[in-house]
């Protein structure tokens, strides 16, 4: 490959003596940047100019983009800034455009130089070809969020972290106010990436009014009506909040109109002596409502954002309504992360039947271990429901059909559910919670154990006679440790049946024989596991 590159350089040098071949020089620079050879790329760039080949706008885009992807971000920022400053000179044939600026902003963000990033943003005009666009603001908002939540060498205290996030949210809301004003004037487009960048910032807060504002943003920019009534927080002192905003915020002044972006405060009732005030994003009713064609088109990112917000807000029914709007009205095909987000909402509300139906509707390629773990956890939480155990059994059936290797954590949760179902209370026979008698519970545990034993045999055959494959090379020790735990839980369940005489006496001999077989198997598995080494404390968490 190096010989071919050397040949390409030699050819370009020869041809460039007689004609302008900027495109060829660009390809050389781009190839070097793609290989992480930043210094060599800049040498070619300078050689290009010395040979009287004038760089074009794309040359600078390649340089800046390559710098933004270089692992030595601070060094790359210095080189990129030197080139950028040269473009600002009067004699420069190419002036920087918004594509160049977006790449510079991204480079500032990657190198952690937020002050420079905000300085450049402040200097951009509010309209025209060089004005900030959706990509500009997405870069800035993502950088603010990353800076506030990323781990530091010396972790800050909880209070310091909360303060950082609060300041970041205030800054982002100021920027968002300016974005909305420009959007309503028709000076810029808003896309899903930008909307979700702002939404993810609000999601980092621990204040539920910020989570609620995500739904307002979706309504403002995508035209999707709120499916949850707006949250209203009781603030005792409106003045304190304004002072807080003024102290913590960074004002962004447009070079053309010297306009400062601020957060709106909309009073619920100015005439009331104890009115409630909520810092809100400006409602569409206060300005010109954009045409439907100007709304951002929702996609998979929007689904995850809204469901994450509603999970934080503990709101299941609105989540279901949003899910139908996104998947039916907008015909968005959910991805795996969307399904996982919705399953987590259903799990939080113990909706085992809905979790099962969602699994059934999912494309086969999305049916992997973690979705079964979340769904089975919904059944465990829903154990007072008469249908929970039946739903869990159907989830187990679907898992067996979908996975090459049964997921041990899912089976563990299934067995835990069978054993933990509530017995009929002698103290409170009128309890509203679903309960069952000893005999029915014993029959249910026995039915669960029969299924689990078959799965244990399948896993055993796969381990000792099948090919564990590369997928288990990194986690085989932990997998075996969970398998041991499953066998132990099975032994405990058999002992429970015997101890409490929850099954007919004629089954006792058979159950003791099963315990004996499992005891021998667990010794064998333990020896097999120890041959791999590993950390005994690590196990897969069944609920994720």
Report if residue 503 sits inside a domain.
Answer: yes
Report if residue 501 sits inside a domain.
Answer: yes
pLDDT at 286 over 50: no
Output the CA torsion 22→24→26→27 (10° steps).
170
533/59: higher pLDDT: 59
Report if residue 499 sits inside a domain.
Answer: yes
> What is the reported pLDDT for 258?
39
Report if residue 6 sits inside a domain.
Answer: no
Report if residue 386 sits inside a domain.
Answer: no
pLDDT at 512 over 80: yes
> What is the reported pLDDT for 249?
40
C-beta atoms surrounding 39 within 10 Å = 12
pLDDT at 515 over 70: yes
Mean pLDDT of the 308-331 span: 97
Mean pLDDT of the 123-146 span: 93
Q: Give the total number of structural domains in the chain.
A: 1
Mean pLDDT of the 20-31 span: 95
How far is Cα 513 from Cα 537, in angstroms, rounded to an integer? 31
Report if residue 181 sits inside a domain.
Answer: no
DSSP 265: E
Mean pLDDT of the 479-505 span: 92
Report if residue 373 sits inside a domain.
Answer: no
Any idea which of 147-161, 439-453, 509-523 has the lowest mean pLDDT? 147-161
Question: Which residue reads 């064998």 in tokens?
Answer: 524
Q: pLDDT tens-digit profile of 230-244?
A: 976 433 333 343 344
Report if residue 534 sits inside a domain.
Answer: yes
How far is Cα 157 from Cα 115, in angstroms, rounded to an integer? 23
CA-based end-to-end distance of the chain: 46
Contacts by 36-39, CB closer than 8 A, 24 or more apart: 36/70, 36/71, 38/66, 38/67, 38/70, 38/72, 38/75, 38/76, 38/79
Q: pLDDT tens-digit profile of 152-195?
A: 777 888 888 899 999 999 999 999 999 999 999 888 999 999 99
Q: Which domain holds residue 511?
A: 404-544
SS3 content of the chain, % helix, strand, coil (to 5): 65, 0, 35
């Amino acid at each position: 490959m190096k010989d071919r590159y050397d040949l390409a350089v030699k050819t370009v040098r020869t041809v460039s003596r007689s004609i302008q071949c900027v495109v060829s020089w660009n390809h050389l620079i781009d190839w070097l940047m793609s290989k992480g050879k930043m210094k060599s790329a800049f040498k070619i760039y300078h050689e290009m100019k010395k040979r009287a080949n004038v760089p074009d706008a794309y040359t600078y885009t390649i340089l800046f983009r390559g710098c933004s992807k270089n692992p030595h971000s601070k060094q790359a920022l210095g080189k990129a800034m030197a080139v950028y400053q040269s473009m600002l000179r009067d004699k420069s044939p190419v002036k920087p455009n918004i594509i160049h600026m977006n790449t510079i902003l991204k480079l500032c963000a990657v190198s952690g130089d937020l002050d420079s990033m905000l300085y450049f943003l402040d200097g951009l005009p509010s309209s025209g070809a060089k004005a900030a666009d959706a990509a500009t603001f997405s870069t800035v908002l993502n950088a603010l969020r990353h800076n506030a939540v990323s781990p530091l060498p010396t972790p800050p205290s909880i209070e310091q972290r909360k303060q950082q996030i609060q300041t970041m949210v205030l800054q982002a809301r100021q920027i968002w106010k300016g974005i909305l004003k420009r959007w309503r004037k028709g000076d810029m487009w808003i896309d899903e990436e930008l909307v979700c960048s702002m939404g993810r910032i609000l999601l980092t807060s621990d204040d539920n009014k910020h989570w609620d504002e995500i739904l307002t943003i979706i309504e403002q920019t995508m035209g999707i009506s709120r499916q949850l009534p707006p949250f209203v927080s009781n603030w005792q002192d409106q003045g304190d909040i304004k002072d807080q905003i003024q102290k913590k915020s960074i004002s962004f002044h447009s070079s053309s109109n010297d306009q400062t972006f601020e957060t709106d405060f909309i009073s619920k009732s100015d005439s009331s002596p104890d009115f409630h005030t909520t810092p809100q994003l400006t409602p569409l009713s206060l300005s010109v409502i954009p045409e439907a064609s100007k709304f951002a088109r929702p996609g998979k990112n929007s689904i995850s954002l809204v469901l994450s917000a509603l999970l934080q807000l503990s709101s299941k029914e609105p989540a279901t309504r949003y899910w139908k709007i996104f998947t039916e009205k907008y015909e968005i095909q959910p991805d795996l992360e969307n399904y996982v987000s919705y399953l987590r909402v259903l799990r939080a509300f113990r909706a085992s039947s809905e979790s099962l139906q969602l699994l059934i509707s999912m494309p086969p390629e999305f049916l992997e271990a973690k979705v079964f773990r979340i769904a089975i956890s919904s059944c465990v939480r829903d154990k007072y429901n008469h249908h929970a155990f039946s739903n869990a059994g159907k989830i187990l059936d679907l898992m067996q059909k979908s996975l090459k290797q049964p997921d041990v954590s899912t089976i563990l949760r299934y067995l835990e559910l069978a054993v933990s179902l509530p017995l009929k209370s002698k103290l409170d026979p009128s309890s509203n919670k679903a309960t069952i008698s000893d005999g029915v519970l014993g029959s249910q545990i026995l039915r669960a154990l029969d299924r689990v034993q078959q799965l244990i045999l399948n896993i055993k055959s796969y381990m000792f006679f099948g090919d564990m494959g590369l997928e288990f090379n990194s986690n085989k020790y932990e997998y075996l440790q969970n398998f041991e735990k499953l066998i132990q839980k099975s032994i405990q369940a058999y002992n429970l049946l015997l101890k409490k005489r929850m099954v007919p006496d004629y089954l006792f001999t058979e159950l003791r024989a099963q315990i004996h077989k499992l005891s021998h198997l667990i010794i064998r598995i333990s020896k097999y596991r120890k041959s791999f080494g590993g950390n005994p404390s690590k196990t897969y968490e069944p609920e994720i």
